[in-house]
Amino acid sequence: FIANYHAMTTVQDRALLEEQTLGVALDYLALGLDPKKAIFFRQSEVPEVAELAWVLSCVTAKGLLDRATSYKDKVQRGISASVGLYTYPMLMAADILIYRSHVVPVGEDQIQHIEMTRDMAQAFNKAYGEVFPVPKPRLDAGAKVPGLDGQKMSKSYGNTIEIFQEGKALRKRVMSIVTDSTPLEDPKDPGGCSVFALYQLVSSEGEQEALAQKYRGGGFGYGEAKLMLLEKINEMFGPFREERRRLEKDPGYVDSVLAQGGARARAEAQMTMKLVREACGLGKMPVPAAEPSTAR
C-alpha cells in the first residue's frame, strides 16, 4: 500500500501529499506491479487501521515506544517530534495486524518494528484472547544499496538516485557520488567503492568483472566509472520511464486501481475489526451514517 497516513508525520501540505501519493502509484505500476496479482491501495482507504492503532495504544507500554530507534534517529536529524512521529510504530503494527499477517518480509533496519508488533500482538492477546497471529519477520538476503554519500540509500538522508529522473538532473546525481582520493593512475579496490556497488545492481556478471579489471589495472578514473554507471541506469530503466509517461496520461486508470484495491483491503480489515470489537466489548461495527440533508 501507499503509506499516506504515515507520510503525514512529515508532510502537512494537501497538494504535496496528493502529488507524492500519485507519484508512488505511478512508480509501482510503471515498474510492473500487477493489480490483478497484488492488492494495491492508499493506506487512508482503510480507516480501520487508525482504529486498530488506538486499540493497540491502550495495551502498549510507553517504554516500548521510547526504545524505537527510527524515532530517535529522526529527532537527531532535526525532524519535529510530533505525537504522530512518536506513535509511528503503533500505526505500523496496525498495518500488519489488521490483515492478520503471519510472516512479514523486511530489511534489517525494520526488524525492530516487527519485534514491537509482536509485543503489541501478544499484549492484546493476553488481555482479550487470541485474536492476532504473532507475525514473524522474513529477512531476505538482499544487496545493501549505498547512497551518494556512502550511507544506506534513503530519501531521509537525501542521498538517493531517482530511477525515473533523466537527463542532466540524473547525470548530476550520479557524478556527485562520493569516492576516495586515489589518483587516476593508481589501482583501485572495486569492493570499497559505492560506484561499483551500484553498477553491480544494473549490470551482468561479465560487465561487472570487466569493470573490476579496469579498477585493478590503474589508469582508470572514478569519473569514467560513473559515466558507465549512468549508461547502465538509463539502459535498465528507460522502458519503465516510457511506461510511467504513458500512465501519467491516464490518471483515471491509476485511481481505479487504487480504489479497487482499497475496497478489497478494507473488506479484510473490517473482518479483523469485527473480531477485535467483539473481543474488547466495543460492540458491532458502526453502520455508515446517512448523507446529511442539504435542506434548510
Q: Which of 37, 155, 168, 284 is catalytic?
A: 155
Q: Which of 74, 214, 226, 232 is catalytic?
A: 74
Contact 213, 143 (CB under 8 A): no
Count Cα neighbours of 219 within 13 Å in the Cβ-side half-sphere. Answer: 2
List 137's β-bridge partners, or say none: 104
Active site residue 232: no
Angstrom distance (rounded) from CA 213 to CA 217: 6
Nearest Cα residue to 122 out of 114, 134, 140: 134
Residue 104 one-letter amino acid: V
**End-to-end CA gap in the chain:** 41
Active site residue 155: yes
Residue 61: phi, psi to the nearest 5? -70, 140
Active site residue 74: yes
Q: How many helices (H) and strands (E) would you count in the chain?
A: 13, 2
Angstrom distance (rounded) from CA 187 to CA 241: 36
List 136's β-bridge partners, or say none: 103
Per DSSP, 155 falls in state G
Question: Which residues have C-beta within 8 Å of that of residue 275, sequence separation ≥ 6?
Answer: 131
Contact 200, 143 (CB under 8 A): yes
Question: Which residues have C-beta within 8 Å of that of residue 54, sequence separation ≥ 6?
Answer: none
Q: Mind telling me the catalytic residues?
A: 74, 152, 155
